[in-house]
Amino acid sequence: MPELQRRLRLDHAPALLAFEQENRVYFAASVPDRGDDYFARFGARHTELLAEQAAGLHHFHVLVDDKGWVLGRVNLVDVADGTAELGYRIAEAAAGRGLATSAVHQVCALAAAEYGLITLRAATTLDNAGSRAVLARTGFVPTGEAVFDGRPGLRYERNLEPM
């Protein structure tokens, strides 16, 4: 059973790079491509992200299988004033198995219990039905329109405080 790692670590770098490279075309079909520079500078950027995570600016998580392969990632970025932006991606080979929904639920729980967040924001393109479904299943509600590289989308929000 895949396991959500609570925090991104330095030793995740090789598996995370492989995950991003293997799924680049798949991801680019629904979200803007990271670009060649992302891959060329992956090691340095990974180190920078770990420093930003240590400073409390972001919370990065990876979903790994029993062999250590990265199947997905769920990130909380731009943490400030009790809020953060949620982002996630699941490998093409692992899509459609409920992993994104489960991982987002887990990160929402961590956000409230361990990171002290009260609101999460997210956004996706209108043509990304899978992502919209994950957000709906995990308690996010649409709050407005968005545009991603010219593609129409929606913004979402989830209140983490108890009802």
Tell the residue number behind the tokens 């030793």, with chain if given. 11
**Residue 35 to residue 108: CA distance in whole angstroms:** 29
Question: What's the pTM?
Answer: 0.93
Burial track 74-95 (b if 16+ CB lie within 10 A, e otherwise): bbbbebeeebbbbbbbbbeebb
**Residue 5 to residue 103: CA distance in whole angstroms:** 10
- Residue 29 has what pLDDT? 86
Per-residue pLDDT of the chain (163 residues; tens, 9 = 90+): 788 987 999 999 999 999 999 999 999 888 888 999 999 999 999 999 999 999 999 999 999 999 989 999 999 999 999 999 999 999 999 999 999 999 999 999 999 999 999 999 999 999 899 999 999 999 999 999 999 888 899 999 999 975 4
Q: What single letter denotes the amino acid at residue 91?
A: A
- Tell me the two tokens of residue 18: 């492989």
The CATH code of the domain that includes 41 is: 3.40.630.30
- Residue 31 has what pLDDT? 82
Q: How many residues does the chain have?
A: 163
Task: Collapse the DSSP code of 158 into the 3-class scheme (helix H, G, I; strand E, B; otherwise coil) and give the result.
Answer: strand
Q: Considering its fold, how many domains does the chain have in total?
A: 1
Boundaries of domain holding 125: 3-159
Q: What single letter denotes the amino acid at residue 41?
A: R
